[in-house]
Structure 1
Amino acid sequence: MTAPTAYGDSPLPDAALLSPGTHTYRLEGLVQRYHVHGSGPVCVALPGGPGIFWEYLRMPLLEEHLTMVYVEPVGTAEDSRLASHPHGYTRERYSAFLEALIDRLGVPEVHLLGHSHGAFVAAYHAVHRPEQLAGVVLYEGAPVTGPEHGAEAARMVEAFAAEHAGHPGLPGVMAAFGAMSAMGDDEQTVAVAKGVLPSYFADYWGNEERFAPLRDTIRATYISGLDEDLTPDVVDDRAALSALTVPALVVVGRHDVICGMRWGLELDELIPDSRLLVLENSGHMGHIEEPEAFAGAVRDFVRRPTGRGPAHS
């Protein structure tokens, strides 16, 4: 994979590459965007999905202490799509593009934060390309996908349904989960993402006035999760994470139905140099539900990235 080049006749000065705002360059014929906010040590943030646009991951409290570089992964925008789209977006491809982006930033090392699917990519990158990482934040991730992960998610969704039986919003959430396996285009992906969102919070309906604006603004692209040859990009990182050399902060919400407590505890046990943050009043969106606790733990991890033991909870 070739090195990225900036638009224009000459490379941008290093300081400009981390200036606030949206940055765009081409790599391997695709457009790569990233969005910079805040100041301080550099933290590169990967959104979930795959295919969810980055805006939901904005972390204003962290931006007060860190230079947050929010990545718009290839495949998300129309001008960043592979010829094989919606297929071909493996963790290896995401990691290779991420390596080029970090190289481009021109800083000695960065912290890497991945949320949901972004946490799977961040774990892969920390295992295979750790050289430029000072630490990694695995935020609502898991060590595996496939049937084992699916069965646990189904169990948690059933528990959510039982807890909210009779709520007028529940049928819509369950219908969205039922439609997830049949997604095949961007419109369907947006509908499913918005439909399931109440289950991604500890108490969405009790705080609907606060959380509904996020639901209204979700943008998403359909990405299949298959390689170009239609092979599933299945994850089993248990052995690899046991040998991880990068300090890690594992963040999990007590009420997360998708990548919940079972997986957060397992990640923390697997990784030799990890801290664990359990957000007691959060689901899958702790940076929105408990922003102070989340930002405080990540900030402290960046300042003191070594040493095992619990973070704030």
Structure 2
Amino acid sequence: MKRAALGADELLCQGDCPPPWPGRPVLLDGLVTYVRETPATGPGAEPALYVHGLGGSGQNWTDLAGLLADRLDGQAIDLPGFGFSEPGRSYTLPAFADRVIRYLEYADRGPVHLFGNSLGGAVSVRVAGLRPDLVRTLTLISPAMPFLDPRRSLQGRMLPLLAVPLAERLAYRRLTQIEPEEMALQVLSACVADMSRINDQRRREAVEEIRVRYTADHYAAAYLRTLRGLVSSFVRAYLPGAGSLWRIARLVTAPTLVVGGRHDRLVDIRVAPQVARVIPDSRLLMLDGVGHVAQLEVPRTVARAVTALLDETGRLRHRP
């Protein structure tokens, strides 16, 4: 593990807050996976894939992907049951990783620069560890890797609900009783340390995303089943067996950037440094005054760290 470097700010794409990405449905194995695209703006751009966190969507990557569009030809998928993707048959980490792998094989864009936030970070670790041929570099932002103290996450208060019969129906009823504007504020407040960093356009998009969730009967079940699958993976990580996420992380060979926020309220802030210690070729960036979604809160800082990683790995690939 080493400290992450930061590239020059002036080398990033400039301009106003970009609009939401255009998207399209992709039919894979009989299920629709929704894919959003930020096409490259510069020559020689390399393929990238972005994977969102629990309860999020590909839209969470709009700013970062826009800043990196000169270097990366970006796509973001909505995981099964989230965003505009259809419900999945299973909501475990292996099932989500299989869906990402299946999409990468389908898209046939060669090894990609893979990005994951929170749940998407844990999924991306599994993809990179088990299918190194598909991953050129790996960027993990507040990855939801296993930790055992639920008091260190706001989502810990939901754990008793996982054992309640008909919990999904209760959760759906509770969610739809809250106005979308209030729910969006609650979600952003949990994920972001400084709300002043989130502009009005992103707030409006968050409200609209909540409205979409309220029209999806499957959303509450997808959320709770995914949380249950995540908790199960946490427990298995500390038991013998090849399925441990920490064991899989040790298999990652891709050059890796790990980003953590010191004001993260959803993932134990000790996790990001631990991930960086476990993955062999890693760089760590810990950000003061930043929460769980650094790509939303301080996208330029994250983009500078990514460009430094791209520059470093590019030099190594072209070294005679």
Q: Above 0.5 in TM-score? A: yes
* Structure ranking higher on relative contact order (CA contacts 8 Å, 6+ apart): 2
Alignment correspondent of 1:126: 128
Over the aligned positions, Cα root-mean-square deviation in angstroms equals: 3.3
Give 2:207's match in structure 1, choosing from 199, 216, 230: 216
Question: For 1:125 and 1:272, how far apart are their aligned partners in 2?
Answer: 16
How far apart are the structure 2 equivalents of 1:21 and 1:218?
Answer: 15
Task: Specify the alignment match of 2:57 in structure 1.
Answer: 53
- Tell me, yes or no, if structure 1 residue 153 matches structure 2 residue 148: no
The aligned residue for residue 31 of structure 1 is 32
Work out whether residues 32 and 72 of structure 1, in 8 Å CA contact, stay in contact via their aligned partners in 2: yes
Which residue of structure 1 lines up, in the alignment, with residue 193 of structure 2? Answer: 202
Give 5+ residue unaligned stretches, structure 2.
1-20, 162-166, 214-218, 238-244, 316-320
- Whether the 8 Å contact between 1:180 and 1:192 is mirrored in structure 2 is no
C-alpha contact (below 8 Å) 2:50/2:75 kept by paired residues? yes
Question: Contact 1:111–1:302 at 8 Å: present in 2 too?
Answer: no
Alignment of 1:220-235 (within 5 A): 220=213, 221-222=219-220, 223-224=222-223, 226=225, 233-235=232-234
Within 5 Å, give how 1:258-277 maps onto structure 2. Answer: 258-277=266-285
Find out whether 1:301 has 2:309 as its counterpart: yes
Count of aligned pairs? 259
Once structures 1 and 2 are overlaid, which stretch shifts more, 183-192 or 231-240?
183-192
Give the whole-Å Cα distance in 2 for the aligned partners of 1:113 and 1:207: 22
1:70 positional shift: 0.8
Unaligned runs of 5+ in 1: 1-19, 158-176, 308-313
Q: CA deviation at 1:248?
A: 1.2
Listed as ranges, the matches of 1:1-313 within 5 Å are: 21-39=22-40, 40-49=45-54, 51-58=55-62, 59=64, 60-76=66-82, 80-82=86-88, 88-145=90-147, 148-153=148-153, 181=161, 184-185=171-172, 188=175, 194-204=185-195, 206=196, 212-213=203-204, 215-219=206-210, 220=213, 221-222=219-220, 223-224=222-223, 226=225, 233-235=232-234, 236=237, 237-305=245-313
User: How far apart, in 2, do the equivalents of 1:239 and 1:126 lie?
Assistant: 12
- Partners of 1:46 and 1:122 within 8 A in 2: yes
Q: Percent identity, please.
A: 22
Is the 8 Å Cα contact of residues 41 and 67 (structure 1) preserved in structure 2?
A: yes
CA distance in 1, matches of 2:173, 2:133: 35
Change (3 A) 1:208 1:131: closer
Equivalent residue of 1:261, what SS? coil
1:266 offset after TM fit, Å?
Answer: 0.9
* Contact 2:256–2:283 under 8 Å retained in 1: yes
| Aligned AA (1:123) | V
TM-score with structure 1 length normalisation? 0.71
Paired letter, 1:216: V
Distance 1:31 1:259, change over 3 A: same
In 2: Cα distance, 1:119 partner to 1:79 partner:
19
For 2:230 and 2:134, the matched residues in 1 are separated by 30
Q: Structure 1 258/28 Cα, relative in aligned 2: closer, same or farther at 3 Å?
A: same
User: For each residue in 1:85-115, what CA deviation from the matched residue of structure 2 results, as whole angstroms up to 9, or x when unmatched?
Assistant: xxx2112222222112112222221011011
TM-superposed deviation, 1:265: 1.0
TM-score by length of 2: 0.69
The answer to whether the 8 Å contact 2:122/2:143 transfers is yes
Matches of 1:144 and 1:262 in 2, distance apart? 11
